[in-house]
Amino acid sequence: MRLIRNPQAVIPELQLGCVATIGAFDGLHLGHRRILRRVREIAAERGLPALAFSFDPTPKEFFSRGAKPARLMRFREKFEALDELGMDVFFCPRFNAAMARMSPDEFIEKLLIGILRVKHIVVGDDFRFAHQRAGSVENLRARATELGYSVEKVGSVLEGNQRVSSSAVRELLEAGRCDEAAQLLGQPYRMSGQVVEGEKLGRTLGMPTANVRLKRSQSPVQGIFAVRVGGLTDSWLNGVASIGTRPTVGGTEPLLEVHIFDFDRDIYGAHIQVEFLAKLRDEERFPDVDALTRQMFKDAEHARAILGA
């Protein structure tokens, strides 16, 4: 999949046009996947590239004051997921003040037609764009005949009586309801990253951990979890993980720490995926390291029971 960050670039792959969709695509839940599947279908029929258009930072992050909203996916995770889903091009310019000022007509003329040469666009039923979210599907349709493209709106996906959305996934994860979040995502929620060298406290306490920096301002999950780890062997490995600042030992940086059961290998530098299957408890400050250690082993036993490990 080709990544394009420069909105002024001439894009050879798009000289004949493309089939596109626009969105934040945070988490790539079932609703996103329905839209992307439709984009790929139409692109194959027309012999054109399938393109996903997003912004980084997202408009919501750009306009937020104070703490940024929790990201389900950091940039690399989103890129890798879109690639796995079969998209040909990921167009992801930086959202800035100039982008924020664009009217719906400017957005259509300069970005969709001037740069991307869109021939068909697929959007969700809640799609909004341009200055103050003034643009809608109706704005797209109003210019379609004149500018030579077509528009298709895809309805929301419902899981039970709930509309599938990134916000709903975040709320479920924050509440520790990992199984329900997985139903909206179509798979367990996961994070990925490179294993970095830590303080080796876990090894000293008899429970070595693989440490991964979160690389996001706020995590959608916090606490202790039963997990599976991918990227190290041909199969997923069971384990227990902590996401937090480690208050008992004076930690300040949020960190993902994973203890993989029955596994003893140097994996510094490896890129791993961590799937969150069940929340065990919230992070807490213990009176001393001995109390923390006892709880860590209880958490491991609890996770093994859940995972059948």
**Residue-by-residue pLDDT tens, the chain, 309 positions:** 999 999 877 899 999 999 999 999 999 999 999 999 999 999 999 999 999 999 999 999 999 887 778 999 999 999 999 999 999 999 999 999 999 999 999 999 999 999 999 999 999 998 999 999 999 999 999 999 999 999 999 999 998 888 999 999 999 999 999 999 999 999 999 999 999 987 666 667 778 999 999 888 789 999 999 999 999 999 999 999 999 988 777 677 889 999 999 998 999 999 999 999 999 999 998 988 888 889 999 999 999 999 996
Residues 285 and 247 placed together within one structural domain of the fold: yes
Residues 40 and 77 placed together within one structural domain of the fold: yes
Residues 6 and 98 placed together within one structural domain of the fold: yes
**Is residue 95 in some structural domain?**
yes
Residues 144 and 6 placed together within one structural domain of the fold: yes
Helix (H, G, I), strand (E, B) or coil at 158: strand
pTM of the model: 0.92
Phi and psi angles of residue 2, each rounded to the nearest 5 degrees, phi first: -85, 130
User: Domain with 152 in it: what CATH number?
Assistant: 3.40.50.620
The Cα–Cα gap between 200 and 210 comes to 9
28-46 in b/e burial notation, b at 16+ Cβ within 10 A? bbbbbbbbbebbbebbeee
The Cα–Cα gap between 37 and 293 comes to 47
Residues 245 and 148 placed together within one structural domain of the fold: no
- pLDDT reported for residue 215: 85
Overall domain count for the chain = 2
Residues spanned by the domain of 122: 2-159
Write 133-137 long-range contacts (CB < 8 A, 24+). 134/103, 134/104, 135/104, 135/107, 135/108, 136/104
Residues 252 and 144 placed together within one structural domain of the fold: no
Phi and psi angles of residue 7, each rounded to the nearest 5 degrees, phi first: -70, -10
User: Domain with 258 in it: what CATH number?
Assistant: 2.40.30.30
The Cα–Cα gap between 171 and 166 comes to 9
User: Residues 293, 249: contact at Cβ < 8 Å?
Assistant: no
Q: What length does the chain have?
A: 309
- pLDDT reported for residue 200: 67
User: Residues 249, 238: contact at Cβ < 8 Å?
Assistant: no
**Is residue 182 in some structural domain?**
no
For residue 248, what is the DSSP state?
Answer: G
User: Residues 114, 105: contact at Cβ < 8 Å?
Assistant: no
The Cα–Cα gap between 53 and 59 comes to 13
Residues 23 and 134 placed together within one structural domain of the fold: yes
The Cα–Cα gap between 91 and 45 comes to 21
User: Which H/E stretch holds residue 15?
Assistant: none
Residue type, 250: G
* Sequence-ordered alpha helix ranges (H) in the chain: 30-46, 59-63, 75-84, 97-101, 104-106, 137-147, 166-174, 178-185, 201-204, 289-307
- pLDDT reported for residue 242: 96
Residue in 1, 208, 167 with CA at minimum distance from that of residue 84: 1
* C-beta neighbour count of 124 within 10 angstroms: 20
